[in-house]
Chains A and B, each alone.
Chain A
Amino acid sequence: DAGVIQSPRHEVTEMGQEVTLRCKPISGHNSLFWYRQTMMRGLELLIYFNNNVPIDDSGMPEDRFSAKMPNASFSTLKIQPSEPRDSAVYFCASSLTSGGSETQYFGPGTRLLVL
């Protein structure tokens, strides 16, 4: 049973470049979350989708960040242009909405380094 799949696992880019992170949630899950993990701020929720619709994007740092979920099996997080302070580990998680008892399952993360 495949878990949440993220790609790439590692990304090194230069400031100003566009970065696209990808996520495939667990099959059958209808909620998807993007998190960012840094030493300073810990784990932060960036955006939450339910049934492919963005429900809460209040955690997205600024307009340089955007996320899409074109279908139930794929989501992207894009940073354009990237900056060194965007360096972090980005996690995708998915869950099945079930009246409150849902559990989020995390992918392995994408380690992003912006030079």
Chain B
Amino acid sequence: AQSVTQPDIHITVSEGASLELRCNYSYGATPYLFWYVQSPGQGLQLLLKYFSGDTLVQGIKGFEAEFKRSQSSFNLRKPSVHWSDAAEYFCAVRGGSNYKLTFGKGTLLTVNP
């Protein structure tokens, strides 16, 4: 069975600081990995995805994520956080031939001015 763990429930950073959100997955074969962001009262917006190839993936809004098979991780990073990045971030995993998308519990990001 596939699963996702986001170890950090809540993270607070200062505006302009760097950010790394952790994601660990469990899946027996090559996973398809996603990061979504949810602003308050909004739906989930896709930030980036990894299917194959280059393990460093670039997404929207200046985010990137790195797939590390040896660590079963897909951490999300941003070099300089903006106040508008305050939101909840969800990591998700799916198998290649499997439609089922399994989400982590999410990490709530607070940005201090």
Contact = CB atoms under 8 A, between A and B. Distances in A.
Interface of A: 4, 31, 33, 42-43, 45, 48, 50, 55-56, 91, 93, 100-109, 111
Given A45-B101, A100-B51, A106-B44, 19 more contacts: A31-B99, A33-B101, A42-B103, A42-B106, A43-B103, A56-B99, A91-B43, A100-B96, A101-B32, A102-B99, A103-B34, A103-B49, A104-B101, A106-B36, A106-B43, A107-B43, A108-B42, A108-B43, A109-B42
Interface string B17-46: 000000000000000101010000111111
Contacts, number: 43
Interface in B45-67: 45-46, 49, 51
Contact of A43 (B32, B90, B97): B90
Interface of B: 32, 34, 36, 41-46, 49, 51, 90, 96-97, 99-101, 103-106
